[in-house]
């Protein structure tokens, strides 16, 4: 039978878990975009890396700022800086809006040569499209339920898990898995199961945000793989790509 931790012990362990989870996602982000963005002046870019113009730089800066804030926020809570946490939360909400706008623009532009070595660009467009919209929904729900701390913090992690797949996809994995399709989902999904396991150990039950939110994230991953090469989706991709000035 699962044990339920005392409130103060659980509070301290929560700070460790959520700070550690945020750092894990930040490390994945840095590792994935080191060659193409963060350390691009010192590292040789992969042949599949598109030209990094103003749009991608802007998107990358907003993305980086949001991930940085994701790490800072649980640290503020751990140090009982709740008021500053709330104020920075609105900065995070604004960054999330900017990420959604520029993320969608970057994904559309990428159909004109940015998805190098990833097969049909209109099919692959399903991957960033659903990740970006999923991120928007999860952050929106997290903001709406910001007064429900237990729900809020899990939804914010889920939102980060959805978008970190873009970074994981760029990490050069061992040859045994490098050729396997969509392995970049796994690194984020591991955190979902870690969160569920942590809840079970610390509270005796898994929070609904992990159950329903985690299920939605995994279902969207499966769904976009299944629909990506269907004719309706390809037609949608071509129509959206046609809106971008070439």
Our CA angle for 85, 87, 89, nearest 5°, is 70
State the pLDDT at residue 48: 65
Collect all residues with Cβ–Cβ distance below 8 Å to 76 and sequence separation of at least 6: 82, 84, 85, 88
Q: What digits encode the pLDDT tens for the residues 15-44?
A: 899 999 999 999 999 988 888 888 888 877
With contact defined as beta carbons under 8 Å apart, do 135 and 194 qualify?
Answer: no
State the pLDDT at residue 154: 97
Distance CA 229, CA 238 (A): 12
Q: What are residue 123's phi and psi, to 5 degrees?
A: -70, -45
With contact defined as beta carbons under 8 Å apart, do 165 and 196 qualify?
Answer: no
With contact defined as beta carbons under 8 Å apart, do 80 and 150 qualify?
Answer: no
State the pLDDT at residue 183: 64
Q: Is 118 left (phi over 0), alpha (psi -120 to 50) or beta?
A: alpha
Q: Note the Cα 67 to chain centre separation in Å.
A: 9
Q: Report the chain's C-alpha Rg in angstroms.
A: 19
Distance CA 159, CA 135 (A): 5
State the pLDDT at residue 1: 46
Distance CA 214, CA 39 (A): 32
Closest to 59 (Cα-Cα) out of 10, 102, 104: 102
With contact defined as beta carbons under 8 Å apart, do 89 and 73 qualify?
Answer: yes
Distance CA 146, CA 102 (A): 25
Collect all residues with Cβ–Cβ distance below 8 Å to 173 and sequence separation of at least 6: 183
State the pLDDT at residue 222: 93
State the pLDDT at residue 3: 57
State the pLDDT at residue 178: 44
Residues of the chain where predicted confidence (pLDDT) is lower than 50:
1, 174-181
């Amino acid at each position: 039978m699962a044990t339920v931790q005392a409130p103060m012990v659980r509070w301290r362990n929560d700070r460790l878990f959520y700070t550690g989870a945020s750092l894990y996602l930040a490390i994945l982000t840095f590792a994935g975009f080191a060659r193409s963005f963060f350390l691009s002046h010192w590292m040789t870019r992969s042949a599949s890396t598109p030209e990094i113009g103003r749009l991608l730089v802007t998107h990358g800066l907003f993305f980086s700022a949001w991930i940085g804030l994701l790490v800072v926020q649980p640290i503020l809570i751990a140090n009982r800086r709740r008021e500053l946490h709330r104020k920075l939360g609105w900065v995070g909400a604004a960054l999330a809006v900017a990420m959604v706008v520029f993320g969608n623009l970057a994904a559309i532009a990428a159909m004109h040569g940015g998805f190098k070595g990833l097969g049909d660009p209109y099919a692959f467009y399903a991957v960033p499209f659903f990740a970006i919209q999923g991120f928007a929904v999860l952050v929106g729900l997290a903001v709406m339920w910001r007064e429900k701390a237990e729900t809020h913090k899990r939804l914010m992690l889920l939102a980060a898990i959805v978008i970190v797949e873009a970074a994981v996809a760029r990490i050069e994995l061992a040859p045994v898995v490098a050729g396997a399709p969509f392995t970049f989902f796994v690194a984020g999904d591991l955190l979902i199961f870690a969160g569920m396991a942590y809840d079970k150990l610390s509270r005796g039950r898994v929070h609904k945000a992990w159950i329903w939110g985690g299920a939605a994230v995994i279902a969207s991953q499966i769904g976009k793989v299944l629909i990506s090469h269907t004719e309706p989706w390809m037609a949608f991709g071509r129509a959206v790509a046609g809106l971008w000035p070439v």
